[in-house]
Amino acid sequence: MLSFFKDYKYFGIVLGILSIIIISVFYNILKVDKPLPIYQPASVNIELVDSTIQHQKKYHKIADFNLINQNGKAITQEVYKNKIYVADFFFTTCQTICPIMTDHMYQIQKEIINDDDVMLLSHTVTPKIDSVAQLKKYALKKGVNDAKWNLVTGDKKQIYELARKSYLAVKTSGSGDEYDMIHTENFMLIDKKRQIRGFYDGTNPEAISQLIEDIKTLKKEYK
């Protein structure tokens, strides 16, 4: 019996290796990228969603907007029409998570610099402080490419409603001002239909790497 096993030992090893190779080949051939989820208000942390839409389970899209960028140019949804984009909320005087988030957004900018399908959009949560001139100063300091990345300011109520009712991205401060908000570290991936396809920790390098990969996955939906 021992001699039988010795005679077939090498045959078994070779057969095992071949089986692994064959299974791997078939897996790669049949592998289909799983589509990214479409996020709805009802599936997001309730603290980040306005109470009027917390129940909504479908048809959520980013609302129309009209804001002003670092060059004093009007930025509307038309600028992002048929674009994939990454959005976030920040303020230029923030000394905690904002510098990290901005550096990571710059990293994404480098990755998509030659990709006409992808853009970036950063909203200030302190529009009274972040004037056009302040945003321009910040943009120059942080290496913002005007063709790819808009830093926007404007009416505080509009920014608040975009943050809470569209991007599902910020918390309220509870200070008594109905438009006060506490921005989070969230980056949101938005598709060409203005739907949210992902939330990412803008301070986490691993999350940024995943975001870049998810942009590639999302682009495949439009081929």
Q: Per-residue pLDDT tens for 130-154?
A: 999 999 999 999 999 999 999 999 9
More confident residue, 199 or 31: 199
> In terms of DSSP bridges, do strands 118-124 and 84-90 run parallel, antiparallel, or are they unpaired?
parallel
- Specify the higher pLDDT residue, 22 or 172: 172
Fold of the CATH domain 41-222: Glutaredoxin (3.40.30)
Is the pLDDT at 115 greater than 80? The verdict is yes
Note whether 215 and 189 are within 8 A (CB).
yes
Task: Report domain extents, the chain.
Answer: 1-31, 41-222
Question: What is residue 31's predicted lDDT score, i.e. its pLDDT?
Answer: 44
pLDDT category of residue 176 using cuts at 50, 70 and 90: low
Q: Which of 22-36, 50-64, 85-99, 160-174 has the lowest mean pLDDT?
A: 22-36
Could you tell me which residues come within 8 angstroms of residue 185 by beta carbon, excluding any fewer than 6 positions away?
A: 97, 101, 201, 202, 203, 204
Percent residues over pLDDT 90 in the chain: 78
Contact 102, 206 (CB under 8 A): no
Residue 18 pLDDT greater than 80, yes or no: no
